[in-house]
């Protein structure tokens, strides 16, 4: 009677992934696949399944649709990153009152923090904001704009609590985030691949004192 083949001696049997581990591996494969194509609609479930080393059917055991997969793999991590960005920079209030000579340095620190965090999420940000228009509009209105308003509110609390003029209204907060976003692009795509402290100091001075002081007071 022929013997049934068993595991090869000395070779450990591959551990079966738990449901949560499989789910995480699918999300990681999806995130990389969406990033490769730069577009949700241009990425197929077959592509994601091949990258994860599974069948499409396994994906559908964990996710109802590609839309849900995109949201959980890309939009949700980006939302969490934006929330973390707000928390990391909203604590400017805890640093006050600051001596005058430290205020510009503190603002440069804020720019450096914002730039570093935005640089980490640039691929996800690009996928969401420059991909499907409906996804972009929803994310911007429900998360990104709300986060910037929260940041403005936190910084305005500095004025009320300490009687100092920060001057960061919702529109000027967007200007700060926009500047940090450009610095993040500079750090990611420039030839040198980094932003110097001198540049952070420069944008802090420009924010606090105006980029075109010669125009001040002119009618």
Collect contacts of 207-216 with beta carbons under 8 A, ≥24 apart: 207/107, 207/111, 207/175, 207/176, 207/179, 208/103, 208/104, 208/107
Residues spanned by the domain of 41: 17-63
Chain segment 110-132, per-residue pLDDT in tens: 889 889 989 999 989 999 998 88
**Residues 83 and 57 occupy one common structural domain:** no
**186 pLDDT higher than 70:** yes
**Residues 111 and 142 occupy one common structural domain:** yes
Question: What gap in Å lies between CA 97 and CA 18, rounded to an integer?
Answer: 51
Question: What gap in Å lies between CA 171 and CA 156, rounded to an integer?
Answer: 12
For the chain, the residue count is 219
Chain segment 137-158, per-residue pLDDT in tens: 999 999 899 888 888 887 776 5
Chain segment 59-117, per-residue pLDDT in tens: 999 999 999 999 999 999 998 888 888 777 766 556 555 566 677 888 888 889 889 98
Number of domains comprising the chain: 2
């Amino acid at each position: 009677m022929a013997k049934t083949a068993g595991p090869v001696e000395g070779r450990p049997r591959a551990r079966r992934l738990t449901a949560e581990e499989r789910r995480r591996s699918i999300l990681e494969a999806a995130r990389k696949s969406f990033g490769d194509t730069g577009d949700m609609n241009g990425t197929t479930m077959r592509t994601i399944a091949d990258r994860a080393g599974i069948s499409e059917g396994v994906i559908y055991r964990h996710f109802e649709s590609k839309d849900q997969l995109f949201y959980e793999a890309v939009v949700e991590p980006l939302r969490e990153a934006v929330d973390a960005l707000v928390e990391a920079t909203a604590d400017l209030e805890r640093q006050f009152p600051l001596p005058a000579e430290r205020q510009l340095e503190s603002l440069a620190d804020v720019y450096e923090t914002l730039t570093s965090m935005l640089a980490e999420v640039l691929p996800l940000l690009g996928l969401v904001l420059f991909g499907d228009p409906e996804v972009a509009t929803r994310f911007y209105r429900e998360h990104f704009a709300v986060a910037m308003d929260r940041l403005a509110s936190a910084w305005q609390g500095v004025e009320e609590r300490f009687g100092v003029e920060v001057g960061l209204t919702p529109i000027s907060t967007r200007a700060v985030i926009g500047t940090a976003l450009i610095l993040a692009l500079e750090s990611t795509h420039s030839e040198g691949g980094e932003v110097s402290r001198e540049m952070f100091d420069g944008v802090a001075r420009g924010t606090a004192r105006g980029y075109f002081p010669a125009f001040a007071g002119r009618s």
